[in-house]
Amino acid sequence: MIEQSVLEEVLGVAMRTGGEFAEVFAEDRRNASAVLDDGRVEELTSGRDRGAGIRVVVGDTTGFAHTADLTEAGLIAAAAAAAAAARGGGGGTNVVALDRRSASRGYDIETYPGDVPKARKVELLGRANDAARAVGGAISQVSVSYGDNRRHILVANSDGLFVEDDTVRTFFAVSCVATGDAGMQTGRESVGHTIGFELFDMYDVDQLARNAADRALTKLAARPAPSGQMPVVIGSGGGGVLFHEACGHGLEADLVAKGASVFRGRVGQQVASKGVTVVDDGTMEREWGNIAVDDEGNPAQRNVLIEDGVLTDYMWDHLRARKEGRRSSGNGRRQSYQNLPMVRMTNTYLLAGEEDPESIIASTPKGVYVKHLGGGQVNTATGDFVFGMTEAYLIEDGKITEPLREGNLIGNGPEVLQRIDALGNDFAMGPPGTCGKDGQGVPVGDGVPTLRVSSLTIGGTAA
């Protein structure tokens, strides 16, 4: 994307005013998407974003500038702006010599979506629409979306690091509205992986569409969710967002350093029930949060955050790790070249236990079974978090009975981690997610086995 000699020149300019660290992050990203709604393929969209972000660190201050101009002159102007923003006081010359490394993700993309005719992508939309509507007359509206993107990044910094990577992601989702006597309900199914068009060898779009339609239909008969505290069983693959919110964000070193995490100062302590092991793993092949290198050029890692209930480590980016004199854990990510990197999760999951999932439900006299969670949100300073249930059922006398309408559940991270009292042997990854932090969205994955929390507050309206 950019010549090595140009990068060395630009980094030299960035460091000339006394910078202690400088970095060029360049990105060339192509997006393609197609939407079918209300029976019509509304449009195909193609887009391209290309540019570079340059940061310069002086003491605790980071200066940042970005540009869509990847010529040498454009990059040097951005480097000078970033250096000025960091208010460096020093002088002299800085020579940066880059050592080129290769990024590896251990598998190959089989079919680049850019090589697939647009007509084939559009054909998938129509098939899914037909399949969803065929489920029944109560399906009153269907929206289907397809998306792929190819993101080529380059990172070069004043420590001599120079690495490039090329990432391909493909996504497909179906949303249905079902209309019944008591109004409308919605159902959704989405799949996404860090792979090419071979996504559709893994999944049958007709089946995905039927799943979405079935979810909407099921909820037509749903009763209001209960209000108050009770045991909650979370289904395999459906509820990784619980850990993303309950502890994931609180283990990001930038928040910990500011005292904005309830997990501050708790490394080495028992923070969760015995048997609970939580991992963040950017190397997980083909998963939505997979990365070969992070957006600071560090290789992705498998990081154990909680092991058998004991907090083992936080997640780190370059800046926080540098301050603590340790290595980055490969968690420095950013939405695009227009953003500064921060500590971010990749694929976050809870390892399986040994129990039979059926017996977990059977041993719950009264509670809620959440098959699919929606999004969530956490206040890391207090630990309070919420997450939505998009498909849930009542458990009565150890059996799954009536479907429930949507609602949020609320809990406190450190308390909920201590209340996990059953772990199934049926681990699965869940649907693709987008994690938002400080206005930046990045793709993340999550996964869980069937598990039970002995008590959570369910925010329904029924007594």
Provide, rounded to whole angstroms, the least separation between the CB of residue 95 and other proteins. 26
Which residues between 59 and 98 bind other proteins (CB under 8 A)?
59-68, 81, 85-87
Which residues between 395 and 414 bind other proteins (CB under 8 A)?
405-412
Provide, rounded to whole angstroms, the least separation between the CB of residue 375 and other proteins. 4
Residue selected from 384, 398, 400, 440 as contacting other proteins according to rule CB under 8 A: 384
Question: For other proteins, which stretch binds (CB under 8 A), given 46-54, 231-239, 322-330, 364-372?
Answer: 46-54
Provide, rounded to whole angstroms, the least separation between the CB of residue 255 and other proteins. 8
- Give the Cα separation of 50 and 28 in Å (integer): 4
Provide, rounded to whole angstroms, the least separation between the CB of residue 314 and other proteins. 16
Interface characters, 127-146, with other proteins (x: CB under 8 A): -------------xx-----
Residue selected from 386, 428, 440, 454 as contacting other proteins according to rule CB under 8 A: 386
Sign of CA dihedral 330, 336, 341, 342: negative
Which CB atom, from 297 or from 376, has the smaller least distance to other proteins?
376
- Give the Cα separation of 294 and 333 in Å (integer): 6
Residue selected from 19, 51, 238, 250 as contacting other proteins according to rule CB under 8 A: 51
Residue selected from 114, 160, 398, 459 as contacting other proteins according to rule CB under 8 A: 459
Which residues between 333 and 362 bind other proteins (CB under 8 A)?
338, 340
Binding-residue total with other proteins (CB under 8 A): 83
Which CB atom, from 141 or from 312, has the smaller least distance to other proteins?
141
Two tokens, residue 327: 């290595």
Interface characters, 173-212, with other proteins (x: CB under 8 A): ----x-x---xxxx--------------------------
- Give the Cα separation of 427 and 223 in Å (integer): 29
Measured between its terminal Cα atoms, the distance across the chain in Å is 61
Q: 228, exposed or middle or buried, with CB in 10 Å at 0-12, 13-18, 19+?
A: exposed
Q: Are 340 and 205 in contact (CB under 8 A)?
A: no
Which residues between 244 and 303 bind other proteins (CB under 8 A)?
255, 258-260, 262
Which residues between 147 and 176 bind other proteins (CB under 8 A)?
none
Q: Which residues contact 110 (CB under 8 A, 6 or more apart)?
A: 195, 196, 197, 198
Provide, rounded to whole angstroms, the least separation between the CB of residue 286 and other proteins. 26
Amino acid residing at 125: L
Residues comprising the chain, all counted: 463
Which CB atom, from 118 or from 326, has the smaller least distance to other proteins?
118
3-state secondary structure 256-276: HHCCCCCCCCCCCCECCCCCC
